[in-house]
Chains A and B, each alone.
Chain A
Amino acid sequence: MPKTLFEKVWDSHVVTQQPDSPAILYIDLHLIHEVTSPQAFTGLRKRGLKVRRPEKNFATMDHSTPTHDPSLPIADPLAAAQIRQMETNAAEFGISLYGLGSPKRGIVHVIGPELGLTQPGMTIVCGDSHTSTHGAFGTLAFGIGTSEVEHVLATQCLLQHKPKTYEVRVDGTLSKGVSAKDIILALIANIGVGGGTGHVFEYTGAAIRALSMEERMTICNMSIEGGARAGLIAPDEITYEYLAGREFVPKDSEWESALAHWKSLPSDEGAVFDKTVTLNASDLEPMITYGTNPGMGMKISDRIPDPASYSDASHKAALEKSLAYMNLQPGIQLLGKKVDVVFIGSCTNSRISDLRQAAAILKGRKVAKDLRVMVVPGSMQIKKQAEDEGLDQVFKDAGADWREAGCSMCLAMNGDQLEPGQYAVSTSNRNFEGRQGKGGRTFLASPLTAAATALTGKITDVRTIL
């Protein structure tokens, strides 16, 4: 029977499946960060267990790490304690750690692919919902809770019920100024934040095939925002080209046999998905969110919907509550809306191509007066590359703040945050109430839209300045 990419990866990782029980699924790579792992290591100690396969586990620090000058001490004692705990746990259990001071440290979902740890056909998990990012390589990658982090540490396995499959086909070609971020925001606006629950997405179609690996990662990253735990894209020449020569990728004859395996992964002709949705990239415009979940998004030239036009009482109540939190009126356009902060960063959009796009717009120009613009590279390697290319200077000359790598204002637990009431255009993935700082208000958009907004201080359609 023809199989989907997901089914091939799943089937080849089932260790055993007992009647009336979930499968025991083998995990090829476990990524760890400081926030969701301490209680798991405590659990191991309590039971007197070791890490079964330390060489398949890699740790970094990204969520609570400061993005200021690294020679300064960490001001928050709780964050400092969490970071020290990660160092202790990695040392005690024999796990490689890209810690503070490491030139390879960065956001966990940025460094996995960058180091070549992420490879097609793998199963990858991490105590973090945006593990879906790694699906861009044709891996089954999903976020887990802390109990499951402990399970993987102890057994290199997880208990999982098999999810259903959901094909997201994106045909057509993107217009100028429209990017991968706009595809995924359009998808979520279409199916809603619970639309993919119980399913794994596979993104197919001409518009997906045309994307670079970094753009594919942007799309897979936000699969979770559509309710799916994972989102996969079949590997192809673009994937292999990205992988070749990276640190942990097989070399020489091992590369040849890995490549042969990877080429067997794409969904077979005639494979059936449980569900399908189709978008046309040619119809898309730059997207922006107006509410407090990523499904509340619209074309940048559209008007905010009116709750009165909703027939479903709970959708109506949700929109009313969101607009009250955002202090926005229904029926208005967001174009021209003044903002206080522009944040360019996060595991969705902090890779070198994102920074290059933003820099191309800011080059030789100045950011708007009284606007705070933060640019936070996804990893120390990206930071270095950007500096080698002179992008940091472009940002600094424009009046933006160039920071150390990390999650930063994506979730605001390291001190980088919005003040109550402030508005931000952010290239991150979540616009939940208070996500970027208590009382802060977030508009999610692409790096292009963020950079265009940085110039004017008002929400701007990037196509007007291209």
Chain B
Amino acid sequence: MAQFSKITSFMAPLPDENVDTDQIIPARYLKAIDKKGMGEALFADWRYNPDGSPKPDFVLNDSKFQGAQILLAGDNFGCGSSREHAPWALTGFGFRVVISTSFADIFRSNSLKNGLLPIIVDAKTHESLFDLTEEAPSAEITVDLNDQTVRLPDGSSVSFPIDPFSKTCLLNGVDELGYILGFEKEITEFEGSNKKYLIGK
């Protein structure tokens, strides 16, 4: 998994609330059997006209926000389907951080497994970040996972929560599968003592 410690970038603002994973990547792009090229399909129906040309009023097509590594999103980002294609599309496009007031559970969990950091901030900070993207679109903020802070251009900083386990995994680029495999003995013991559901026998 991609490691994450600290990045400095300006933000691309997408204030819509309840952005669902069908918007992040529509189902017709889910026929792939690998993870390649998902960035192209990110927000496909909001980003492109039917003829494939970019929609000029969509934030990711706005020249001011080209190259942003931080997506500033509305409340409850990533609801709907469990498709991990959503974080693959976001990271494939170049995002490393999504900031919102809340995330749907499965999206949040999928992001953390793909080196994409979901940051939860309070409503007031959220609003001030949107103000910043309007007043100074090129203003950069620094996300530091080590001390769990977002540093703003005026020098102030806000802290964000993350569970210690996910933090360690992200900082070291460790994936969870390796961790679970380390408990082989415990799993085998559990299987020995729990024989309730031997469905397939």
Q: Which chain A residues lie closer than 8 Å to B110 at the CB level? A: 145-147
Q: Does B186 contact A (CB under 8 A)?
A: yes
Q: How many residues on B have C-beta within 8 angstroms of the other chain's C-beta atoms? A: 58
B interface majority secondary structure: loop
Among A20, A163, A434, chain B packs the most CB atoms within 10 A around the CB of: A434
Nearest CB in chain A: distance from B28 CB, A: 6
Contact with B along A161-173 (1 / 0, CB 8 A): 1010000000000
Q: Beta-carbon contacts of A398-431 to B below 8 Å, as 1s and 0s?
A: 0000000000000111000000100000000010
Nearest B residue to A131 via CB reads: B82
**Given known A-B contacts A321-B16, A413-B30, A227 and B104 have beta carbons under 8 A apart:** yes
Answer yes or no: A356 CB below 8 A from chain B CBs. Answer: no
Q: Chain A nearest CB: distance from B183 CB in Å?
A: 6
Among the listed stretches B53-61, B72-80, B142-150, which one makes contact with chain A, having 4 or more residues with CB under 8 Å of it?
A: B72-80
Complex Cα spacing A163 to B15, Å = 27
Q: Bound state CA distance, A193 and B83, in angstroms? A: 17
Candidates A21, A157, A435; contact of B187 at CB < 8 Å: A157
Residues of B within 8 A of A58 (CB): 200
CA distance A370 to B133 in the complex (A): 49
Assuming the A-B contacts A150-B177, A155-B177, are A39 and B35 also in contact, with contact meaning beta carbons closer than 8 angstroms in the complex?
Answer: yes
Interface pair B165/A22, CB less than 8 Å apart: yes
The answer, yes or no, to whether B3 is at the interface (CB within 8 Å) is no
- Interface status of A354 (Cβ within 8 A of chain B): no
Q: How far is the CA of A146 from the CA of B194 in the complex (A)?
A: 26
Q: Which residues of A contact B76 (CB under 8 A)?
A: 193-194, 197, 227
The CB with the most chain A CB atoms within 10 A, among B33, B76, B83, B181, is that of: B33
Question: Are B33 and A151 in contact (CB-based, < 8 A)?
Answer: no
Q: How far in angstroms is the closest Cβ of chain B from A91? A: 15
* Cα distance A150–B31 in the bound complex, in angstroms: 18
Select which of A47, A96, A433 is within 8 A of B22 by beta carbon: A433
Contact with A along B149-185 (1 / 0, CB 8 A): 0000000000000011100000000011101110100
Q: Are A26 and B190 in contact (CB under 8 A)?
A: yes
User: Contacts A159-B180, A318-B17: A26 and B187 contacting too (C-beta < 8 A)?
Assistant: yes
Query: Please, which residue of chain A has its CB at the minimum distance from the CB of B81?
Result: A129
Task: Using A36-B84, A144-B82, A317-B16 as known contacts, say yes or no to A159 and B179 having CB atoms under 8 A apart.
Answer: yes
- Interface of chain A residues 209 through 236 with chain B (CB within 8 A): 224, 227, 229
Residue of A nearest to B87 (CB): A145
- The answer to whether A148 touches B187 (Cβ under 8 A) is no
A143 to B83, CA, bound (A): 9
User: Which residues of the partner chain B approach A295 to less than 8 Å between Cβ atoms?
Assistant: 18
Q: Give the complex CA separation of A159 and B187 in angstroms.
A: 13
Among B80, B114, B177, B190, which residue has its beta carbon within 8 angstroms of that of A15?
Answer: B190
B74 A314 Cβ-Cβ under 8 A:
yes
CB distance from B86 to the nearest CB of A (A): 9
Minimum distance in angstroms from B173 CB to a CB of chain A: 14
B117 to chain A, nearest CB (A): 16
Please state if B194 and A129 are interface contacts (CB–CB under 8 Å).
no
Question: What CA separation (Å) do A146 and B180 show in the bound complex?
Answer: 16
Query: Chain A contacts of B16 at CB under 8 A?
Result: 314, 317-318, 321
Is B105 an interface residue when CB atoms closer than 8 A count as contact? yes
Closest to A43 in B: B177
Say whether B102 contacts A197, CB under 8 Å. Answer: yes
- Cβ–Cβ < 8 Å partners of A314 in chain B: 15-17, 74-75
Q: Is residue A365 within 8 Å, beta carbon to beta carbon, of the partner chain?
A: no
Contact B31 A39 (CB under 8 A): no
User: A121 interface residue, CB < 8 Å from B?
Assistant: yes
Are B114 and A147 within 8 A (Cβ)? yes
From known contacts A155-B181, A318-B16, infer whether A21 and B186 are also in contact, taking CB-CB under 8 Å: no
Which chain B residue shows the least CB distance to A195?
A: B76
Q: Which residues of B contact A47 (CB under 8 A)?
A: 177
A396, CB-defined interface residue at 8 Å: no
Contacting residue for A156 out of B32, B176, B187, B199, CB 8 A: B187
Given A129-B81, A129-B82, also A229-B199 (CB < 8 A): no
Interchain nearest-CB distance for B158 vs A (Å)? 20
Q: Restricting to B17-65, which residues have a CB under 8 Å from any CB of A?
A: 17-18, 20, 22-23, 26-28, 30-35, 45, 50
Judge whether B23 and A433 touch: CB under 8 Å.
Answer: yes
**A335 CB-CB contact with B under 8 Å:** no
Q: Is A256 an interface residue (CB 8 A)?
A: no
Residues of B within 8 A of A307 (CB): none
Does A24 lie at the interface of the complex (its beta carbon under 8 Å from any beta carbon of B)?
A: yes
A29 in the interface, Cβ–Cβ < 8 Å? yes
Interface assignment of B96: CB less than 8 Å from any CB of chain A: no
A-chain residues with CB within 8 Å of residue B200 when the two chains form the complex? 54-56, 58, 96, 248
What are 8 contact pairs spanning A and B, CB under 8 A? A15-B187, A22-B163, A26-B190, A128-B81, A145-B82, A430-B81, A432-B80, A434-B45
User: Beyond the given A145-B113, A159-B179, could you list 13 further A-B residue pairs with CB under 8 A, ordered by the A residue number?
Assistant: A16-B186, A28-B196, A29-B199, A35-B30, A82-B32, A147-B114, A157-B187, A227-B104, A295-B18, A314-B16, A413-B31, A433-B23, A438-B45
Chain A residues close to B by CB (< 8 Å): 12, 15-16, 20-22, 24, 26, 28-29, 35-36, 38-39, 42-43, 47, 52-56, 58, 63-64, 76, 78-79, 81-82, 85, 96, 117, 119, 121-122, 127-129, 143-148, 150-151, 154-159, 161, 163, 193-194, 197-198, 224, 227, 229, 248, 258, 261, 293, 295, 314-315, 317-318, 321, 411-413, 420, 430, 432-435, 438
For the complex of A and B, 6 pairs with smallest distance between CB atoms = A55-B200, A194-B76, A145-B84, A145-B110, A78-B31, A38-B33
